[in-house]
Amino acid sequence: MNPARSTILSRLRDAGAHPVSSNNHSYSSWQTDSDEEREQRFVEAMIASHAEVISTKVELLESTLTEVVATKQLKRIAIGKDGEFIHEIQQASGQSDVISFDQDIREWKHELFEQVDAGITHCLAGIADTGTLVLWPGTDEPRTLSLIPPTHVALLKRSTLSNNFAELIRQQAWHIGMPTNAILVSGPSKTADIQQTLAYGAHGPKELIVILIEDR
């Protein structure tokens, strides 16, 4: 064994530390029975994480998306192959160069990384406690759609908001069929260096726009 490693392990063994029981520790997840309070907490947490939240109704989704595309000057947009609001996405993106994610990424990797302005995705759910989006990537909407373009536009139905993560897992019975990859998004991509300088967009989208759809 490496001498340095042996020394470290010996010190750990000789420290006489004992495991601490978790019985004395408790954590109460935030929760409420009020739809209004749940939405308010979600929106406030998202905004605190530097995301932009736009509330709209189902019948106004297309016009809301159209306004976002125009205001943000999104010239090239990557979208999925299918989804509940794919028609509204296609119509709203009509004045832009729309690229459907229906081809092998190796065939348009450079275009996706260098030329696409935004990716538009659906969300499986939202978590009010932490202000988090839940995405389940698949063949219709691969994970790169939300991770690569500099702007991520996420469509979230209000009815899918859960109080906390544990509640969401129970409600949707994740234990029955989890995906190989679940993405939790709580704001645009950010990182900090040793001097504590915070930068956005270094490892993913620098801008997150959440369109919260009032569907009930």
Tokens at 55, concatenated: 């509330």
pTM, full prediction: 0.84
Residue in the structure block whose two tokens are 């929106």:
43
Q: pLDDT tens digits for 11-52?
A: 878 887 776 666 665 667 899 999 999 999 999 999 999 999
In a 10 Å sphere around its CB, with 0-12 CB exposed, 13-18 middle and 19+ buried, how is residue 74 labelled?
Answer: buried
Q: Is residue 87 part of a domain?
A: yes
**Which residues, including other chains, have CB under 8 Å from residue 77's CB and lie 6 or more apart?**
69, 93, 96, 97, 98, 99, 116, 117, 118, 119, 120
**Which residues, including other chains, have CB under 8 Å from residue 71's CB and lie 6 or more apart?**
none
pLDDT, position 29: 83
Q: Is residue 121 part of a domain?
A: yes
Number of domains in the chain: 1
Q: Is residue 15 part of a domain?
A: no
Q: pLDDT tens digits for 171-204?
A: 999 988 877 789 999 998 888 777 677 777 777 8
The candidate with the shortest Cα–Cα distance to 80, out of 67, 89, 91, 69, is 89
Domain containing residue 94: CATH number: 3.40.50.10420
The pLDDT > 70 percentage for the chain reads 94
E strands, 7-71, in order = 52-57
Q: Is residue 22 part of a domain?
A: no
In a 10 Å sphere around its CB, with 0-12 CB exposed, 13-18 middle and 19+ buried, how is residue 15 labelled?
Answer: exposed
Q: Is residue 5 part of a domain?
A: no
φ, ψ for residue 150 (rounded to 5)? Answer: -65, -20
Cβ(75)–Cβ(96) below 8 Å: yes
> Which residues form the domain of 88?
33-190+202-214
